[in-house]
Structure 1
Amino acid sequence: MKIAYLIAAHNNPIHLKRLIVALSSESVSFFIHIDKKSSIDVFLKLKDDNVHFTNERIPVYWGDFSQVDASLIMLQTALSDKNNFDRYVLLSGVDYPIKSTSYIEKYFREHPDREFITLVSMPSESHKKSISRLTTFVIRPGGNTIVRFTKKVLKKVGFRLPDRDYKTAFANFQPYGGSSWWAFSRDASEYIVGFVAKEQLLVDFFKNTVCPDEQFFHTILGNSPYMKNAVKNVTYDDWSASGASPEIINERHLHTFKEQALNKSNEGILFARKFDEKSSEILIRIDNEIRSEN
């Protein structure tokens, strides 16, 4: 089982190094996209025979299609690699495994045909995936001075564009949403890249939607032959505080991981997010108390 880890990062090279070390084995390689708004110099010291930085780098913005673009850059780079990986796992630079490397590789080896991505048919108010995520036209960040000024003025006066008719772009496709993180088989990964090359109308539509990273890959897979193999994604995050970002992993989460390990209720959870510069002690405890037991 050869695994390609696709890691989107923009800061905290110390944690990124720790993540790479924790997952390293003879069976894995890392394909990393560093946000173009960040200096890559502090990351390049991590480069190794199995650690690759994408040649193409783009500025990445939260909730923007640039997150999808960065994921596609990494996926296409990994698919072109001579190693012909079996599994492609999308992570962020602030993730960390809560299972041992041997456990993770064994888990993927035992489930070669599963597509790990949480899918929810839209609209789904209970999962906070309303259809307004598609009908609302989002003006993308960036652009020249005139564009930025115009966006600022429009926002200040409360100007709102009319709802879009997403059904024209979607045609017979059912929209799906879910978590940003996934782990795909090689076949599904190649299908997605091929779909993106052919369905330009749908791809372009997603460029101006709300948080497209939580709908784009989901809609493609949900309308593919691989839908029948889709199961919940393998990354744990805690949104209980209802903030713009998940909770930082803390002592409370460690207790949860331990309890779930005891009753074997988290066998399909391999990674957790997110961690920050103050997470060193928590990471040590994960290594010593959780990963070592799995």
Structure 2
Amino acid sequence: MSRPNSTDTPRFAVYILAHDKPWLFADLVHSLQHEQIDVFVHIDAGVDQQPFERALRSGSAAHFVPASRRVRVHWGGFSQLDASFALIDLARANDRRYHRHSLFSGTDVLLRPMSELIATWADDRELIRIDRRIGDASDPMAAKVLRLHFPDHPQLDRLRLSGRIPRRLNTAVPLYQGSQWWSLTDGALDAARAVIAENPRWLRQHRFSLCPDEFVLHSALMSTAFGAKVEQNYAGLSREPDRTVHGQHFIDWSDPEGIRPPELTADSLTQALAGPAMFARKAGPDWTWRAEPAC
């Protein structure tokens, strides 16, 4: 059950992972300023935090993860989850309880009026995308967990050891894979983290998996009753899923061979606005559209 707030007005926690482009990060924070929203920020420990603090506009408020919990984040590494957990713990440390928790990158863009966003966040849907259940070795995603990977250990990565050493898989929690970016109710997030806490050996193994940010929380959630509330659950379905809507995000994965989604353009922004997504990613260095908080 979600923990109630002290009033009937729901509150929402926003978690932002940022490592570059402070001006885009500041735009996102500014667009999310609302009396019902608290913004929590993790700045990659490999960069200076001060430019991000200075970039915040007058009237923008955000709570930064303290230096003692900041981590250096590597693409594909468990460090992505360490940073996300630091954000959740920071929000849990205050006296407020939140109806919903949402994870973003610092280059995301708000697409909708604030009133529409608040209405969406106030319901009980679990806005996370599940693309597949990772099964046996024939699964194209299985190599991410059936072999050792070292993205958080650059020295080992440079020796080209990642993905070359096989291992046995801990099956304590069945694996489901999907988009890293999610928006979960308080009860769902609590339930998923409880599963993770109850399976420390399973979690430890995934410190050497590739992109565990795409399946650790997802798998834990799917092993709870909240898995039935996931709207975008494509696991086991034969139909081709939409490749642009991921939870509450527009992300253009229309190229199945792409390593990373392309940056937002005028054309893709038009496509995003025509769909149901609340946010789009990711804005590039030449992005000029400035979102404003909408009443």
TM-score between both structures, scaled by the size of structure 2: 0.82
- 1:276 and 2:284 matched: yes
Q: 1:151 to 1:63 in 2, by over 3 A?
A: closer
Q: 1:87 to 1:256 in 2, by over 3 A?
A: same
Q: Deviations over 1:86-130 (max 9, x none)?
A: 110000001011111111001122x2x2111111332389xx852
Q: Distance between the aligned counterparts of 1:81 and 1:231, measured in 2?
A: 30
Work out which of the residue numbers 33, 46, 57 in structure 1 matches 2:42: 33
Q: Deviations over 1:166-204 (max 9, x none)?
A: 1xx223x32100011100111112223333322101111
Q: Which position in structure 2 is the counterpart of 1:86?
A: 99
The answer to whether the 8 A contact 1:61-1:67 is kept is: yes
The answer to whether the 8 A contact 1:75-1:189 is kept is: no
Q: Which position in structure 2 is the counterpart of 1:134?
A: 145
Q: 1:159 to 1:227 in 2, by over 3 A?
A: closer
Which SS does the other structure have where 2:39 is aligned? strand
Q: 1:152 to 1:3 in 2, by over 3 A?
A: same
Q: Distance between the aligned counterparts of 1:159 and 1:221, measured in 2?
A: 26
- Please provide the CA RMSD for this pair: 2.5
Q: Deviations over 1:211-270 (max 9, x none)?
A: 111111110111111101112311110123433221111121133234x2xxxxx33x11
- After TM superposition, the structure 1 = structure 2 runs for residues 283-294 of structure 1, keeping only pairs within 5 Å, are 283-284=289-290
- 1:160 and 2:164 matched: yes
Consecutive unaligned residues of structure 2, counting only runs of 5 or more, are 1-9, 233-246
- After TM superposition, the structure 1 = structure 2 runs for residues 255-266 of structure 1, keeping only pairs within 5 Å, are 255-258=270-273, 260=274, 266=275
Q: Which position in structure 2 is the counterpart of 1:236?
A: 250
The answer to whether the 8 A contact 1:3-1:87 is kept is: yes
Q: 1:8 to 1:129 in 2, by over 3 A?
A: farther
Q: Which position in structure 2 is the counterpart of 1:170?
A: 171
Q: Distance between the aligned counterparts of 2:105 and 2:32, measured in 1?
A: 13
Q: 1:159 to 1:37 in 2, by over 3 A?
A: closer
The alignment of Structure 1 onto Structure 2 pairs a total of residues equal to 265
Q: Distance between the aligned counterparts of 1:255 and 1:247, measured in 2?
A: 15
Letter of the structure 2 residue corresponding to residue 26 of structure 1: E
Q: Distance between the aligned counterparts of 1:139 and 1:78, measured in 2?
A: 29
- After TM superposition, the structure 1 = structure 2 runs for residues 243-254 of structure 1, keeping only pairs within 5 Å, are 243-254=258-269
The answer to whether the 8 A contact 1:79-1:190 is kept is: no
Q: Write 1 or 2 for the structure with the bigger share of helix.
A: 1
Q: 1:184 to 1:16 in 2, by over 3 A?
A: same
Q: Distance between the aligned counterparts of 2:196 and 2:61, measured in 1?
A: 27
Q: Deviations over 1:128-173 (max 9, x none)?
A: 8522221121124337xxxx2x553455xx9921x2221xx223x3
Letter of the structure 2 residue corresponding to residue 170 of structure 1: T
Which SS does the other structure have where 2:80 is aligned? helix
Q: Distance between the aligned counterparts of 2:272 and 2:94, measured in 1?
A: 35
The answer to whether the 8 A contact 2:76-2:151 is kept is: no
The answer to whether the 8 A contact 2:250-2:272 is kept is: no
Q: Distance between the aligned counterparts of 1:80 and 1:49, measured in 2?
A: 21
Q: 1:9 to 1:26 in 2, by over 3 A?
A: same
Q: Which position in structure 2 is the counterpart of 1:263?
A: none
Which SS does the other structure have where 1:118 is aligned? strand
